[in-house]
Chains A and B, each alone.
Chain A
Amino acid sequence: MKKNGKILEVQNLKVYFDTEEGIVKALEDVSFSLKRSEILGVIGETGSGKSVTAYTITRLLPQPPGMILEGKVLFEGEDLLKKSENEMLDIRGEKISMIFQEPMTALNPVFTVEEQMTDVISYHEKISKKQAAEKAIRALELVKIPDPSLVMKKYPHELSGGMRQRVMIALALSCEPELLIADEPTTALDVTIQAQILALILEMREKLGLSVIMITHNFGIVSEICDSVAVMYAGNIVEFSSIYNVFENPLHPYTEGLLKAIPPLDKDVESLNVIPGVVPNLIHPPSGCRFHPRCSRKLDICEKKPPKLVELTDGHFVACHNPLGGGKR
């Protein structure tokens, strides 16, 4: 194990896209870290940069149009952004796995579950097809798929959405990775099935000591399974801390506003908190703090200078010139 127990440290990532409409400033100074066996939630609204962050870490970002301009992705102390394509192939097969929002796009429709799983397994381990098939069945059992040997013979479209996502997770876990990056793995699923997938992720952390980055726009999911949270807004991490700090003592006005905008499940309310306006366009993002046009705590400086993500209290990071909780900087 590496010193300070951190498996991943993302430092000052800056990622732009060169498009016909102009330069999309998708990630600006994104930093956060993840301890071993920790589940980190990355939460934010559409277009805030969650997927781009995941694709940058795993080096699956399409380049062009993507450009990684600055930053480091330290995985077990080594910078993934400096690795060759071949080294990355090995890392993605053995140490870091990713699951995607829509399992249909990640599973190949013309191959059976068995063909795809044994393919992946025998690519990384020099074992026979038969051994790989046995391993695949064990992976399917791990994710509690009923009749795994039957499911092995099926094509992706013959499975329900929940089963497909389980297969995806089994596939992602079959190489026993250390880090799992799950990009909205349950958005297309029903809540009762979603609860199953969340239970599965918790169980895998328990059994395999997996570290997880859980990308979502759902505060409920974060609160159910995550140990820490990074809140993203328009390409920035605006707040990063333990789950309790963020939920019970949010320092950024955006985090607080979002938490209050969720209709409560356990009580009746007359009206919901509203964050006025809409998310900005990232080709021409607002000057200074990208949240300032929608912020109720805006100061003059907010239009001029982008706030840095700093540790305001112990382990509680915020990027705001006028944070909540009285803590002016």
Chain B
Amino acid sequence: MNQYNNPIIEVKNLLKEFDVIKGFWAKKAKIKAVNDVSFTINEGEAVGLVGESGCGKTTTGRILVRLMEPTAGKIIFAGKDISILKGNKLKQLRRELQMVFQDPFSSLNPRMTVYDILKRPLEIFKIAKTSEEKKQIALKALQDVGLKSEHLTRYPHEFSGGQRQRIAIARALILKPRFVVLDEPTSALDVSVQAQILNLLRNLRKEYSFTYLLISHDLSVVRFLSDKIMVMYMGKLVEVAPTSELFKEPLHPYTKLLMSSIPNPNPRNRKKLKLIEGDIPSLLNPPPGCFFAPRCPLRTPECDKTFPKLREVKKGHLVACFKV
């Protein structure tokens, strides 16, 4: 059912801790933003990472492309351990690992023209010999994302949000990377513009044949752009499944809650919205056992003791829950 079987990214027991200030007395504390996470992404695969605000999606993405160092755990890229690379070796990695950020307004340098922005990676990696060659490559990248040659000399502020995101995508793809993290590439955009960018990403995937991790809190976006989906809750992966299967048969109670909370644009098919007490627990005081237990309808005493391990319940379908 999955035609991809050559791992390009393998993540093993990834941990990322942050120091934070806690409470009135400003005591130092640590939170585990990414907590013992393991997964594999195969070459050519499009993987979605979903979960609610602050659950650790961006942190995971930044560590994968090594914009951030993990506290513990391993990241194997194309068979090579890149978890602790530094200096020049880390810099060389940028050619193959790229990231597109959520905010198209702050991710582009306002003092650089589009041409300068696109030219930089080419210069850093000495891709083109002549300036004519550089220009050709930049132009091709620009046209591939649906912009025109006259845009090369303009500055980011002269573009709309959707156009800026196109520029950011062109910058990420210009080096023909093997793996790209797309962090909420459309969440700052309006629906009509979002549709343009989603179609673009789908076409670029065919043309540039890169593997990607798509981060989003919007399940409909993830459905449109991924083969496989990973669901994260408070720094932990709770479910991993092929996209169609996750939508047909979500197994983890949190995934079910997530699915049943998404407003559906079909007024004949309304949810029975019910008001319940309760809130998402804080990473500062995570519950002792399963982090979802306090909100879980299937909770048993066992759930308050240990966090269930992610285990395969069907081929390619992993769940971290005692009750499934």
Contact = CB atoms under 8 A, between A and B. Distances in A.
B278 interface: yes
B131 interface: no
B207 interface: no
Interface in B152-202: 160, 162-163, 190-196, 198-199, 202
Nearest to B275: A199
Given A160-B279, A203-B275, A247-B267, A274 B258 contact: no
Interface in A24-50: 45-46
A159 to B, nearest CB: 9
Given A45-B190, A144-B275, A144-B277, A218 B266 contact: no
Interface stretch (A11-19, A53-61, A189-197): A189-197
Interface residues of A, number: 52
Nearest to A279: B190
Contacts of B267: 223-224, 243-244, 247-248
**Among A191, A220, A257, A268: residue with most chain B CB under 10 A:** A191
B273 A223 contact: no
A223 B261 contact: no
B53 to A, nearest CB: 5
A149 B34 CA distance: 34
A252 to B, nearest CB: 13
Contacts of A264: 220, 223
Contacts of B202: 271
Interface string B199-213: 100100000000000
A325 interface: no
A92 interface: no
A274 B266 contact: no
Contacts of A258: 191-192
A106 interface: no
Interface in B262-286: 262-268, 270-271, 273-280, 282
B227 to A, nearest CB: 11
Interface in A215-273: 217-225, 243-244, 247-248, 257-259, 261-266, 268-269, 271-273
A247 B265 contact: yes
Given A192-B258, A223-B270, A247-B265, A274 B192 contact: yes
A269 B275 CA distance: 33
Contacts of B262: 191, 220, 265
B279 A163 contact: yes
B166 to A, nearest CB: 12
A272 B198 CA distance: 8
B257 to A, nearest CB: 6
B279 A146 contact: yes
Contact of B273 (A199, A217, A278): A199
B224 interface: yes
Contacts of A247: 265-267
A274 B219 contact: no
Contact of B191 (A161, A198, A261): A261
Contact of A198 (B53, B273, B277): B273
Interface string A269-286: 101111100110000000
B13 interface: no
B263 A218 contact: yes
Contacts of B264: 220, 223-224, 265-266
B263 A221 contact: yes
B52 interface: yes
A274 B280 contact: no
Contacts of B263: 191, 194-195, 198, 218, 220-221, 223-224
Interface of A: 45-46, 144-146, 160-163, 190-196, 198-200, 202-203, 217-225, 243-244, 247-248, 257-259, 261-266, 268-269, 271-275, 278-279
Given A192-B280, A194-B263, A263-B223, 14 more contacts: A191-B262, A191-B263, A192-B261, A195-B273, A198-B263, A200-B275, A220-B262, A223-B264, A225-B273, A247-B266, A263-B224, A264-B223, A265-B220, A274-B192
20 contacts: A190-B52, A190-B217, A191-B52, A191-B258, A192-B261, A195-B273, A198-B263, A220-B263, A220-B264, A222-B265, A225-B273, A243-B267, A258-B192, A262-B265, A264-B220, A264-B223, A265-B262, A265-B264, A271-B202, A279-B190
Interface of B: 52-53, 160, 162-163, 190-196, 198-199, 202, 217, 219-221, 223-224, 244, 247, 257-258, 260-268, 270-271, 273-280, 282
